[in-house]
Structure 1
Amino acid sequence: MAIWNRRKPKAARKYPVPLTTHQLWMVSLSAPVNRDQDASRTTLYPFTRIDEDKARRWLADQWEITSRDALVGRLDGLARSGYRAGARRRLGVEPLAWDAGLYVDISRRGFAAGMLSEAETWTALKNIVPAVVRSYASWSEYAEHYLLGRMVWRDNLRGTPDADFPAPQAVSDAHLKSLLDPANKASPWNMAPWEAISRPDHVR
């Protein structure tokens, strides 16, 4: 069998309907998390190709999520307090952006793993929007708090077996700089400006 016949189908073929501006904005909350080459930052599906097994492995390995109930419980925890509770005790601020990015990322991977339906995933994303909109006024502010939350998370890993797990801070910094670059036409943050979520939705 030719090697190209073994490749997984493109996600865009299974989910061909373009996202509206509001939908892209919601998906874009996880853009800082998605640095992998096969990540999709402009679709609800988190990968460029359909890969349920990869999504399930990632949820199990990174979050110990192996069931729908575990997924829903983890999302509820991130929405209620997440890592920002510890950051508040330590720094006096609550970097909601870190928890929101993880929340959307896990929701999308839960969808890819078949633990959430498409409709349930959109509902989950909509649930986090009001708190994010109340907390920030721009993607730049969102990015700043995302990095703050990531810093606290990395510090908490020191002295543990997972201390070497995160990508270097410079990698995350460069990724966010690219997302915020006005000249980057591929950045979902440029495709769906921050203020778009507060305006009437429209098809892109």
Structure 2
Amino acid sequence: MAIWNRRGRKATRKYPVPLTMHQLWMVSLSAPVNRDRDASRTTLYPFTRVDDDKARRWLADQWEITSREALVGRLDGLARSGYRSGARRRLGVEPLAWDAGLYVDITRRGFAAGMLSESEAWTALKNIVPAVVRSYASWSEYADHYLLGRMVWRDNLQIRGDEDLPAPQAVSDAHLKSLLDPANRASPWNMAPWEAIGRPDHGR
């Protein structure tokens, strides 16, 4: 007997309007974080198929976010200082890219979990753009600082080995290399070049 599976529905069928260039650029800030096979890197919804419960579980398990208030508080913390404050004390630099990637990822999952409306999610993403644009001039620079921020975060965990992380460093490195590969037509960074955010927005 067949059982109806809501998770089987493609996200693009529920949210069919293609993103504009600026919207794709903003979503692409979380591309380094989204390594899972079911991750969507070209929609506001974080998965290729609708699974709101997965978003709720992830927010609760990874960030202890179970309410809208907790979500907003976490986003505010990442926007204000995040992990980069600790990196500044240790290394003298602030890897905003790591915090920005997490900020956008949490915003998208918060939208999927029903804690943010679509318009609220886009407003949240727009709020992080000015700081990112001031800090970097290319996706390559953004990727370098993302890796730096990840290194600081990893060291702070004080775990036994890299294998205990959500993804080993080699996996993160390979994922970023793929995103930066000019021949990778599926990379959102190639679909939305860094300079696009400084130009008038348009449909794709």
After TM superposition, the score normalised by the length of structure 2 is 0.96
Which amino acid in 1 is paired with 2:120?
E
Cα contact 1:154–1:163 (8 A) shared by 2: no
Whether 1:118 and 2:118 are equivalent positions in the alignment is: yes
Which amino acid in 1 is paired with 2:185?
K
| 1:142 equivalent in structure 2 | 142
Which amino acid in 1 is paired with 2:193?
P
Q: Which runs of structure 1 show a deviation greater than 6 angstroms over 4 or more consecutive aligned residues?
A: none
Q: Offset of 1:9 from its aligned partner?
A: 1.0
Cα contact 1:98–1:149 (8 A) shared by 2: yes
Whether 1:188 and 2:154 are equivalent positions in the alignment is: no
Residue 99 of structure 1: SS of its match in structure 2?
helix
Deviations 1:41-71 (A, max 9, x none): 0000000111111000000000000000000
Rounded to whole Å, the distance in 2 between the matches of 1:142 and 1:106 is 18
Whether 1:88 and 2:95 are equivalent positions in the alignment is: no
Residue 8 of structure 2: SS of its match in structure 1?
coil
Query: What aligned pairs does 1:93-172 form with structure 2 within 5 A after superposition?
Result: 93-159=93-159, 164-172=164-172
Deviations 1:135-187 (A, max 9, x none): 00000000000000000000000148x98233110000000000000000000
Residue 146 of structure 1: SS of its match in structure 2?
helix
Which amino acid in 1 is paired with 2:169?
Q
Whether 1:10 and 2:18 are equivalent positions in the alignment is: no
Identity among equivalent positions (%) equals 89
Which amino acid in 1 is paired with 2:202?
H
Rounded to whole Å, the distance in 1 between the matches of 2:109 and 2:42 is 14
Whether 1:21 and 2:13 are equivalent positions in the alignment is: no
Rounded to whole Å, the distance in 1 between the matches of 2:184 and 2:192 is 13
Which amino acid in 2 is paired with 1:201?
D
Residue 30 of structure 1: SS of its match in structure 2?
coil
The gaps in structure 1 that reach 5 residues or longer are none
The gaps in structure 2 that reach 5 residues or longer are none
Which amino acid in 2 is paired with 1:65?
I
CA-atom RMSD in angstroms: 1.6
| 2:34 equivalent in structure 1 | 34
Residue 56 of structure 2: SS of its match in structure 1?
helix
Cα contact 1:25–1:193 (8 A) shared by 2: yes
| 1:73 equivalent in structure 2 | 73
Rounded to whole Å, the distance in 2 between the matches of 1:91 and 1:46 is 32
Rounded to whole Å, the distance in 2 between the matches of 1:174 and 1:188 is 16
Query: What aligned pairs does 1:191-202 form with structure 2 within 5 A after superposition?
Result: 191-202=191-202
After TM superposition, the score normalised by the length of structure 1 is 0.96
Deviations 1:109-149 (A, max 9, x none): 00000000000000000000000000000000000000000
Which amino acid in 1 is paired with 2:78?
L
Which amino acid in 2 is paired with 1:183?
A
Cα contact 1:11–1:45 (8 A) shared by 2: yes
